[in-house]
Amino acid sequence: MSKARLRRPADYELQEEQTVSEPIRIGIVGCGRILPAHLRGYALLRESGFDDFRITALFSRQRQDAEMFRKRGEGPTPRPPVSNRPSDPLSVPHSYVSDFQPEVDAEVFDDFSSLLASGSVDALDIPASVFTHHGYAVQAANAGIHILAQKPLAVSVAAGRRMVAAASQNRITLGVTENVRYAPTMRYARWAIERGDVGEIQMVASVALGTPEWSPDKVVADTAWRHSKLLAGGGATLDIGVHLFHRVRFLCGDVKSVSALARTFEPLRYRRDANGKVSETVPSDADDAFMTTFELESGAIGQASFSWAGHGPSTSLPEGFAIYGSRGCIKGDTLYQDGRSPVSLTALFEQEATPDERARWLPGGYTDSFAACFYDFLNAIRQGRKMEASGDEGLGDLATAFSILESSTRGRTVNVADVMSGAVREAQRDIDAYYGLD
């Protein structure tokens, strides 16, 4: 079995150097339920002394949603978080731009063209709904504005390719807010794998059937569009699949082929009041469960499953994501090596990482994954380079995740390269037709 070549930040070619000396002006596009996690990340950057940006604009098609985040003491009543799990970004409490940036008031926009024409932004952070990403990003790229899009990168692979092409043609930085990549446990695992602590990777596994909060039939994240194929691109396969495959690709190398089944077990989803009475019924034609086996380019094999469906308690691997190699394995934060006692990756990194390794794997010292992502994005703009979670990486995740749906639709194994190129896209044809991406 050949050893997979893992991509490093140093592999990325530099773009044209930027000459902006003032703080980078950021416009937030989309003011929904994930925005508090973004604002917390920006607040942590400023608290640490990283002061190379200002939030100068907030855009939402519903103006009141943007006003909700602008300034404490103003605007509509905030929405409560939709998750109770501290590890879920959707559990972050509401905050305001003014909480960490009192010296500059962000301007509110409800027309995207007006935002671009205002001359008030150098870069856009786009946590808007996924079906809007390609439209906003292409317009922004053509205006010379840098872009950071919330994962998944786009509503289809064709849409993602347009984003990447527009960024390349206009020589601007395009990234994806893939917070999984910047989580410390992920960085420590990659560090250990590159050191050879597990040897050559052989097997990967991730199992998660049912969720504590959304199963069996709740509206996921209280966001109805997640259950519409035309709006979300896919259900669990896209929302969770890109996280899953980003982890696989970052730690283990690219995925060559996918064999999968995806299903919509709950065609109706429900919102319920405090007494459990149904207050709204939401039709669902997006998948809520998938099971897949896959082969890496290196020859290693993997298996993964996830579902928002599932009656009864959820089932998962106790340690979460597991990687097995020729010398040991990683399960969660624990490294198991042949002939040695188990050790925490966090503790091992603290004890053995060199100063250069610390600077590489924890740039800026940030342990909040959103803060670390924004730090990378802002420095990528300054340094004229691609960020780690670049548009190319986001497109790779997207194509791999869509391979689940393409395999399920075809009833056979598909090559990720064919999904990436558009040679295989049966599951996406209606999406591409809807958005004029044919």
* Complete domains list, the chain, with CATH: 9-181+383-389 (3.40.50.720), 182-363 (3.30.360.10)
pLDDT of residue 320: 85
Alpha-carbon gap, residue 121 to 115, rounded angstroms: 8
Radius of gyration in angstroms for the set of CA atoms belonging to the chain, rounded to a whole number: 21
pTM of the model: 0.94
pLDDT of residue 438: 83
Q: Per 3-state DSSP, what percentage of the chain is helix, strand, and coil (rounded to 5)?
A: 40, 20, 40
CA–CA distance, 34 with 130 (Å, rounded to integer): 12
pLDDT at 7 over 80: no
- The pLDDT confidence band at residue 319, using thresholds 50, 70 and 90, is confident
User: Contact 260/378 with Cβ under 8 angstroms?
Assistant: no
Looking at every residue in the chain, the average pLDDT score rounds to 94
* Token pair in block for residue 314: 């959820």
The stretch 252-272 carries a mean pLDDT of 98
Q: What is the helix (H) or strand (E) element at residue 87, kind and residue range? A: none
Tens of pLDDT, residue by residue over 144-175, are 999 999 999 999 999 999 999 999 999 999 99
Residue 290: which residues within 8 A CB-CB, separation 6 or more? 236, 237, 241, 260, 261, 262, 263, 305, 306, 307, 404, 408
Task: Answer whether residue 324 shows pLDDT above 90.
Answer: yes
Q: What is the pLDDT of residues 387-436, one digit of tens each?
A: 999 999 999 999 999 999 999 999 999 999 999 999 999 999 999 999 99
